[in-house]
């Protein structure tokens, strides 16, 4: 466990971006049948997912979010001192997406750029990294997170196809006196690597396709084993009780899992944020998407106490207690593109239970 307390960095705005194309429960029914599609949707709480069109990459979603964020805050690109980019689905093997976005956004040459390869815990890890670095190298930072996980998914795999959507989000951070403390708890367990992986398509197995594999039973067990303790550690470090939290925002993987963890942590249904019905699991973007979608109104109008926790591939997990708001900008945008065509029917797999039980 890594415990960290950071002060003097304020969150100024959040913009989430999804592609226009959508895959719905009706589309799933064409592949898996009406009964199976309805059962998966009921168990996971996911009714639709945004899917990047051919030719759309993570950097395109990220650029759309970041441009709207800079424009809405009236931040000049030259005023950004740091860009931290978090993704598992880079456009290229190299360079990383951070360099691509540095150029496309017109950031100055003196700005520092850092790419992090993280999954569902990536937003919290990125927030910790960007905030810590910002206190030493400048005044303003962009944290950009997101993935096009659909590129790794076999449309006929019931364990993952109904779960994962594509999205990105951009967050503006500023070193300022009104930046309240952020209390982090971070951890990892590399023994979990084989249970949530896309091992093909890289240097170890270049001839295998890059297909996502998930052992739902192992994912669920890991989540129940590690996440509650991490959330409680962040709460304790901040000197908060769960009753003092306005919004508990867990990684938006599966509605049943979120509700179960919320109850285990003593959070009420009103405190526990659910914002995955129209997005699915969007990996590192899921927490800021929940802020920009479900919590946009309160975050724009007043200061709120947030407890955020991301967890998944690695295994890795991270939780943070912080106060944010009122934000100058907190909204969703859409990247236009061709609507995804419905897939033809595919054979059922034996892994449907993994999708229903876990969905991380």
Supply the residues annotated as catalytic: 120, 251, 281
Taken as a whole, the chain contains a residue count of 360
How many other C-beta atoms can be found within 10 angstroms of the C-beta atom of residue 110? 9
Alpha carbon distance 317, 309 (integer Å): 7
Alpha carbon distance 222, 152 (integer Å): 22
Q: What is the CA radius of gyration of the chain?
A: 19
Nearest to 191 by CA among 158, 225, 157: 225
Contact residues for 221 (Cβ-Cβ < 8 A; gap 6+) = none
Contact residues for 37 (Cβ-Cβ < 8 A; gap 6+) = 25, 26, 28, 29, 31, 162
Residue with tokens 């990383």: 96
Helix extents (H) in the chain: 25-32, 34-44, 58-73, 97-104, 122-137, 216-238, 255-264, 286-293, 296-301, 352-357
Nearest to 268 by CA among 289, 284, 247: 247
Nearest to 293 by CA among 305, 303, 280: 280
């Amino acid at each position: 466990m890594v415990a960290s307390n950071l002060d003097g960095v304020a969150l100024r705005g959040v913009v989430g971006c999804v592609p226009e194309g959508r895959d719905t429960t009706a589309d799933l029914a064409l592949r898996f049948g009406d009964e199976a599609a309805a059962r998966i949707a009921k168990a996971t709480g996911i009714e639709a997912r945004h899917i990047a069109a051919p030719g759309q990459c993570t950097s395109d979603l990220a650029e759309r979010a970041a441009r709207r964020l800079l424009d809405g805050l009236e931040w000049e690109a030259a005023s950004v001192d740091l860009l931290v980019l978090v993704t598992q689905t880079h456009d290229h093997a190299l360079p990383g997406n951070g360099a691509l976005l540095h150029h496309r956004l017109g950031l100055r040459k003196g700005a520092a750029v850092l790419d992090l390869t993280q999954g569902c815990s990536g937003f919290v890890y990125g927030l910790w990294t960007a905030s810590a670095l910002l206190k030493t190298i400048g005044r303003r930072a962009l944290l950009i997170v997101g993935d096009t996980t659909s590129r790794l998914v076999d449309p006929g795999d019931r364990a993952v196809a109904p779960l994962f959507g594509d999205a990105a989000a951009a967050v503006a951070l500023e070193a300022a006196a009104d930046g309240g403390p952020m209390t982090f708890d971070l951890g990892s367990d590399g023994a979990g690597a084989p249970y949530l992986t896309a091992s093909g398509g890289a240097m170890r197995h270049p001839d295998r396709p890059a297909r996502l594999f998930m052992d739902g039973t192992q994912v669920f067990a890991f989540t129940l084993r590690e996440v509650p303790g991490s959330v409680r550690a962040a709460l304790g470090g901040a000197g908060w009780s769960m009753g003092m939290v306005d919004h508990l925002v867990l990684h938006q993987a599966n509605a049943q899992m979120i509700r179960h963890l919320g109850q285990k942590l003593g959070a009420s249904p009103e405190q526990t944020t659910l914002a995955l019905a129209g997005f699915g699991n969007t990996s590192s973007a899921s927490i800021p998407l929940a802020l920009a979608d479900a919590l946009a109104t309160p975050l724009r109008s007043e200061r709120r106490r947030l407890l955020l926790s991301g967890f998944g591939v690695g295994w890795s997990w991270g939780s943070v207690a912080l106060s944010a708001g009122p934000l100058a900008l907190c909204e969703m945008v859409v990247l236009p593109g061709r609507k995804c065509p419905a897939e033809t029917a595919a054979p059922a797999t034996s892994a449907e239970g993994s999708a229903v039980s876990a969905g991380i």
